[in-house]
A and B are shown apart, each in its own frame.
Chain A
Amino acid sequence: MDNAIYSGRDVVEFSIWDVLRNLLLAARWTVALSLITFAAGGLVAIILVLIRNRTDRWGKHVVVLYVQLFQGTPLLMQLFLAYFGLSALGFQISAWGAASLALTLYCSAFLSEIWHGCIQAVSKGQWEASACLALNWAEQMRYIILPQAIKLAIPPTVGFMVQAVKATALASVIGFIELTKAGTMIANATFKPFMVFSIIGVLYFCLCYPISRYARSLERKMNVR
């Protein structure tokens, strides 16, 4: 291998299986980061939606500001701030922790905006009719509003989730070794970037495609009622 000799390092021969195995191992971290982001981000989003719906003007403003802040700045910058910013302030945080934190906040902003919109999209008449039947707020939400809002929310939520899986790649900039970062390292070591990044592409596709597929079947199921 000529390239390997020029690099001045020990010549190591990587088979495609070695590459694949190492990428699959790294993909676990992409999956883990995505899952944490969805779970924690979804939870925070629910809280944000509740605050926005249940409090007076003040709470609404805070949530809107929060959403604008995270939607209006690059995720890359948020990752840098979470990692380097926090440690500059004296909080020791691992790349793993910083990536989870930044992606959770980022996701929560988008998801809360999507879900808030879907709740708003249920007609005011549904609130009024159920109020006139003496339902309280929790009952209105649980039995009337959410069943209709969730149906509306599935496509945009899934669309965003697929984006978020791909966005985890940005965590590589703070040294978190997930699929993309591992791929870069392997590509540098093997001098086969085309093969490595093709495999990475396939792996991301394998993560994202089932999500969209599942969403479509869920949508179909809900349309049948």
Chain B
Amino acid sequence: MSDKPLTSEIVIEAKGLKKFFGSKSVLKGIDLTVFQSEVVAIIGRSGSGKSTLLRCLNGLEAFQEGSVRINGAELKTNNAQTLRALRQQIGMIFQSFNLFPHLSVGENLMLAPHLVHKKTKNELSTQAINLLKRVGLEEKFHAFPDELSGGQQQRVAIARALAMGPSILLCDEITSALDPELVSEVLQVVESLAQEGMTLLMVTHEMNFAKKVSHRVIFMHEGRVHEEGSSIDLFTNPKTTELKQFLSSI
């Protein structure tokens, strides 16, 4: 699936993004453009700033320099109103699932659309059931998160993000906390999303998966985009020594 997406509308545009934690420079000027329905994998060593980059794109972290535009709108981390609007367009899935443990699976899916979109009970439950079907868990509507396997929890987390109707999904190592035999059920869901045209920006250590579904791969090194290109180019013909080292180390 390495063909370029058909449309060329820019949905994420970061320019000169710089992020410091105290005096520590973590992102040292990131330029990144993502097109609609594009699937972009981000790879790189631990500590290279992959998570921080994702978290800057949806306002979980404030950045010090540069700009981010999501679907054309400027991201301002200090403005609650625009953040709320932005976060309806951009969902995020975490390595640690982060389901709400005191709510059932159904409630996990319905809470945010209820509060933010003011949908009716009927609309909400129909939507939740449909989303659960999509991730293959319709029988778990009334279950609680601690009754599910890791793979199931992560699929619920994906459904929960989808319930807000985002056009972009950020995935941060979403299979890293899973037992190996549970990885594929989650990746299948992600792949189906890619096929349906969701814009995906995913940090991953699953190189085969990155090769298979991503249009483009970005290699981050010490807070910079060190090398980027189509997945075939990048994996079979790495140019920088850092990427060569990284690929041989995994």
Query: Which of A's residues lie within 8 Å of B, judged by CB?
Result: 123, 125-126, 128-137, 139, 143-144, 147-148, 151, 225
Contact = CB atoms under 8 A, between A and B. Distances in A.
A128 B164 contact: no
B136 interface: no
Nearest to A151: B102
By DSSP majority rule, is chain A's interface helix, strand, loop, or mixed?
helix
A130 B60 CA distance: 11
B102 A131 contact: no
B19 interface: no
B94 A133 contact: no
B239 interface: no
Counting chain B CB atoms within 10 Å of each CB, which of A123, A126, A129, A151 scores highest?
A: A129
A112 B205 CA distance: 43
Interface stretch (B23-31, B84-92, B196-204): B84-92
A222 to B, nearest CB: 9
B91 A132 contact: yes
A126 B144 contact: no
B98 A128 contact: yes
A144 to B, nearest CB: 6
Contact of A144 (B60, B88, B100): B100
Contact of B88 (A125, A134, A151, A225): A134
B87 A131 contact: yes
Nearest to B84: A134
20 contacts: A125-B94, A128-B94, A129-B94, A129-B100, A129-B157, A131-B87, A132-B87, A132-B161, A133-B87, A133-B111, A133-B116, A133-B160, A133-B161, A134-B85, A134-B88, A135-B116, A137-B80, A139-B115, A148-B101, A225-B102
Contacts of A133: 87, 91, 111-112, 116, 160-161, 164
Contacts of A125: 94, 96, 98
A132 B58 contact: yes
A132 B102 contact: no
Top 3 nearest A-B pairs by Cβ distance?
A: A133-B112, A129-B98, A125-B98
| B: contact size bracket | 20 to 34
Contacts of B91: 132-133
A136 B100 contact: no
Contacts of B88: 134
Counting chain A CB atoms within 10 Å of each CB, which of B60, B85, B91, B102 scores highest?
A: B102
Interface string B64-84: 000000000000000010011
B60 A128 contact: yes
A143 B111 contact: yes
A135 B98 contact: no
B148 to A, nearest CB: 15
Given A128-B60, A129-B92, 18 more contacts: A123-B98, A125-B96, A128-B98, A129-B94, A130-B112, A131-B60, A132-B60, A132-B161, A133-B160, A133-B161, A134-B85, A134-B116, A135-B116, A136-B80, A137-B80, A143-B111, A144-B100, A147-B102
Contacts of A139: 115
B84 A130 contact: no
B164 A134 contact: yes
A133 B100 CA distance: 12
A186 B19 CA distance: 71
B116 A132 contact: no
A119 B160 CA distance: 24
A209 B250 CA distance: 61
Contacts of B102: 147-148, 151, 225
Contacts of B87: 131-134
